[in-house]
Amino acid sequence: MTPLALRVFTATSCLGRGNAASLASLLAQRAGLKRCDFETVELPMYIGEVPGVDAVRLPAALAEFDCRNNRLAWLALQEDGLREALEAAAARLGPRLGVFLGTSTAGILETELAYRARAADGALPAEFRYRGAHNSFSVAAFLRAALQLTGPAAVISSACSSSAKVFASAQRAITAGLIDAALVGGVDSLCLTTLYGFHALQLVAPGPCRPFDVARDGISIGEAAAFALLEPADDSLAADGVLLLGTGESSDAHHMSAPHPEGAGAQLAMRRALEAAQCAAGEIDYLNFHGTGTPSNDSAEARAVAAVLGPVPGSSTKGATGHALGAAGALEAVICALALRAGLRPAGVNTRALDPQLPVTYLLENRPGRLRRVLSNSFGFGGSNCSLLFGRAG
Amino acid sequence: MSTSLQAFVQGVGLLGPGLADWPSAAAVLRGERAWTPAPTRIPAPESLPPAERRRTGTIVKLALRVGLEACARAEVDPARLPSVFTSSGGDGENCHEICSALATSARALSPTRFHNSVHNAAAGYWGIATGARAAANALCAYDASFAAGLLEALVQLHTERTAVLLVAYDAAYPPPLRAARPIPDAFGVALVLAPDPGPHPQAQLRASLGAAPPTPLEGPLEDLRSAIPAARALPLLAALGGAGDTRAVLEYLPPLQLETEVRPWR
């Protein structure tokens, strides 16, 4: 495939607002997880909450989109020159600037709270807004309205692969000539559905998650907003510019919430990303594992990685960020971009004793060094898999 | 702006209120048969193993039904096709049950309800039912969900030179959500789109972005088109069914609309 440049990118998660704070946390091997104190939730778990989301006030003209998810999107939009870059791109490209965003739960928290506030006849409060908060498209509708974007748009909601798959869809739309550039990204925010839902599935760790640890016992749920402006690469790209070189997607065709034990779909996604980038497995300098921290997910991914990539050094940054679900793909894409630019293989934070049964090279300490090609894995419920391959321009 | 995307339509599947399958819907759209509105009847998905079948709700049964009909009419193996699933609202019944449970003091969620709550539930069950390991997408674009899905499928066909299955579906929301999103009943449509005509070509399809207003339908079918997001496909389906007009503008993201043209293929 034709390489695309990540002209501007930014991430906001429990590691910090924007790239400088996120990179500083990665360099310090700092985790952003804390004991769950979200809303009225009383569950024995840790969460990766972005501080300050509740305090965000959207402009009055955007009031119909007010919800935690869109406040988080708004917070992230102000960082790293993203907003200015999008306004400039919109002025230049008009309807040839597309929007492809991933989310799993959008503003469902608003609906959960509205259900608690139902009237005696069961009706939702009058101020409940379906289109601006509940509907999966709400985050794209919000950013289109906020930035007055007029081009094609879609939300991809394929659980935890959502905001990895947006890179593939945007890349295809640019290749087909439908658009010239795209805002891609993911926004997912804490809500009761995911906190209680993963708890019901017995997939949540009581302490901070420890991907690939011998005693790993589940995920920690996080939240994040991460974005990139994708455009065809040209000569103006600096040596430390970051390129999307390959995408690979597949389905497990196995089970709704359990991975294929050998990671068959995961292998297919990684192979397709390598093929698309015309890159050999040995050329991958760092792998950002999906690495959720559940016993079965990490085991299936380890087997798939061993089969396709061999002993490539890698880590799951979910030990630091928690699992940002529908925003995880974009968050980890930006972490890969930061890693490429800074020459850093980030450590897997929180993991103490590696599971000797897992045949992978898992980094427990940061490993600096020049990186040219990195791969990021994202796998979701419904057996939805996506691998993204990024590289440095020079 | 004028980038045109093309495909052969190899097979169609359809299910909606008073519309039992594609041939009977096409007859209605051509005006050969009167439309008698009746609640959408969705057969049980025989293709799923019994354990999985018990776990599926309306929305998944609907998507599987129309997807399998389109593949059967196109005589293609569903396991081979990448797929694009698109829905405005996903599973409203399931969402209602989860939000109701979360509003109680116990907050006890069913694990099955939770894993069915993902917007890509239909795509996931489709993989389990057909064995398809190809890429499957799960889109939402509110009222533009059909057009967004069609664009995604045509772009994928164009860039990867492969046949693609498009499945668009929406179902009624129960109260109290229904007051905020009044979708009256279930409607699903599936298209097998391919770079070549295949054994039973229906038509050649061309689509491009434009600014012409969406094409309305005549009579009560217009109510159906405007009430259910997935039924925004009806003007294109009328053209595919041979209703006379070969051009149809589909509702997308105003002022941007999706202009389509079909040419019968013999």
Whether pTM exceeds 0.80: yes
A158 Cβ under 8 Å from any chain B Cβ: yes
H/E stretch holding A97 = strand A97-102
**Set of chain B residues whose Cβ sits within 8 Å of the Cβ of A142:** none
- For residue A296, the distance in angstroms to the closest alpha carbon of chain B comes to 16
**Closest residue in A to B82 (Cα–Cα):** A250
Please count the other Cβ atoms lying within 10 Å of the Cβ belonging to residue B174. 13
Q: A229 has which bridge partners?
A: A8, A183
The predicted model gives B39-64 an average pLDDT of: 89
User: Tell me: the pLDDT tens digits for A24-68?
Assistant: 999 999 999 999 999 999 999 999 999 999 999 999 999 999 999
Longest dimension (CA), chain A: 64
**Set of chain B residues whose Cβ sits within 8 Å of the Cβ of A198:** 114
Structure tokens at B39: 């609640």
Tell me which of B48, B140, B251 to substitute to probe the interface with A (most A C-beta atoms closer than 10 Å): B140
Quick one: what percent of chain A has pLDDT higher than 90?
97
**Set of chain A residues whose Cβ sits within 8 Å of the Cβ of B114:** 193, 196-198, 200-201
> Residue ranges per domain, chain A?
4-392
Interface predicted TM-score (ipTM):
0.98
Residue A371: alpha-carbon gap to chain centroid: 21
- For residue A289, the distance in angstroms to the closest alpha carbon of chain B comes to 20
Nearest to A157 among B119, B180, B256 (CB): B119
Which candidate in A160, A209, A279, A386 is catalytic?
A160
Q: Is there a contact between B176 and A123 if contact means CB atoms under 8 Å apart?
A: yes
**Closest residue in A to B253 (Cα–Cα):** A152
Structure tokens at A182: 């795209």
CB interface of A with B, residues 179-198, below 8 Å: 192-193, 196-198
Q: Is there a contact between B124 and A382 if contact means CB atoms under 8 Å apart?
A: yes
Rounded Cα distance between A216 and A299, Å, is 11
Helices (H), ranges, A218-316: 264-277, 295-308
Q: Is there a contact between A382 and B256 if contact means CB atoms under 8 Å apart?
A: no
Q: Is there a contact between B137 and A169 if contact means CB atoms under 8 Å apart?
A: yes
Tell me which of A45, A105, A148, A157 to substitute to probe the interface with B (most B C-beta atoms closer than 10 Å): A157
CB interface of B with A, residues 38-77, below 8 Å: 52, 55
Q: Are A307 and A267 in contact (CB under 8 A)?
A: yes
Tell me which of A4, A105, A158 to substitute to probe the interface with B (most B C-beta atoms closer than 10 Å): A158
Helices (H), ranges, chain A: 18-27, 68-77, 82-93, 108-116, 138-147, 162-175, 192-200, 264-277, 295-308, 318-321, 328-342
The predicted model gives A154-181 an average pLDDT of: 98
Q: What is the pLDDT of residue A273?
A: 98
Which candidate in A14, A191, A279, A323 is catalytic?
A323
**Set of chain B residues whose Cβ sits within 8 Å of the Cβ of A140:** 141
User: Tell me: the pLDDT tens digits for B243-255?
Assistant: 888 999 999 999 9
A252 Cβ under 8 Å from any chain B Cβ: yes
- Cβ within 8 Å of residue A150, ≥6 positions away: A90, A94, A95, A97, A144, B255, B256
Q: Are B70 and B12 in contact (CB under 8 A)?
A: yes
Active site residue A290: yes
**Set of chain B residues whose Cβ sits within 8 Å of the Cβ of A254:** 127-128
Sign of CA dihedral B60, B64, B65, B70: positive
Nearest to A135 among B98, B99, B140 (CB): B140
Q: What is the pLDDT of residue B2?
A: 66
Active site residue A160: yes
B253 Cβ under 8 Å from any chain A Cβ: yes
What are phi and psi for residue B147, nearest 5 degrees?
-60, -40
Structure tokens at A341: 């630019």
Q: What is the pLDDT of residue B251?
A: 98
User: Tell me: the pLDDT tens digits for A320-354?
Assistant: 999 999 999 999 999 999 999 999 999 999 999 99
Crossing angle of helices A162-175 and B145-160, in 10° steps, is 60
Helices (H), ranges, A176-214: 192-200
Residue B1 has pLDDT above 60, yes or no: no
Give the range among A255-259, B71-75, B89-93 with minimum mean pLDDT.
A255-259
Active site residue A255: no
Q: Is there a contact between B180 and A112 if contact means CB atoms under 8 Å apart?
A: no
User: Tell me: the pLDDT tens digits for B191-232?
Assistant: 999 999 988 888 999 999 999 999 999 999 999 999 999 999
User: Tell me: the pLDDT tens digits for A196-251?
Assistant: 999 999 999 999 999 999 999 999 999 999 999 999 999 889 999 999 999 999 99
Q: Is there a contact between A176 and B159 if contact means CB atoms under 8 Å apart?
A: yes
Q: What is the pLDDT of residue B266?
A: 64
CATH superfamily of A4-392: Thiolase/Chalcone synthase (3.40.47.10)
Domains in chain B (CATH in brackets) are 4-264 (3.40.47.10)
- For residue A256, the distance in angstroms to the closest alpha carbon of chain B comes to 6
Nearest to B133 among A200, A202, A265 (CB): A265
Interface A:B, Cβ pairs < 8 A? 215
CB interface of A with B, residues 17-36, below 8 Å: none
Structure tokens at B118: 């993902």
Q: Is there a contact between B177 and A193 if contact means CB atoms under 8 Å apart?
A: no
- Cβ within 8 Å of residue A84, ≥6 positions away: none
Radius of gyration of chain B (CA): 18
Q: B12 has which bridge partners?
A: B191
Q: Is there a contact between A177 and B3 if contact means CB atoms under 8 Å apart?
A: yes
Please count the other Cβ atoms lying within 10 Å of the Cβ belonging to residue B100. 14
Q: In terms of C-beta density within 10 A (0-12 exposed, 13-18 middle, 19 or more buried), how is residue B7 classed?
A: buried
- Cβ within 8 Å of residue A126, ≥6 positions away: none
Q: Nearest-5° angle of CA A243, CA A248, CA A253?
A: 160
Rounded Cα distance between A234 and A145, Å, is 30
Nearest Cα residue to B160 out of B129, B193, B127, B130: B193
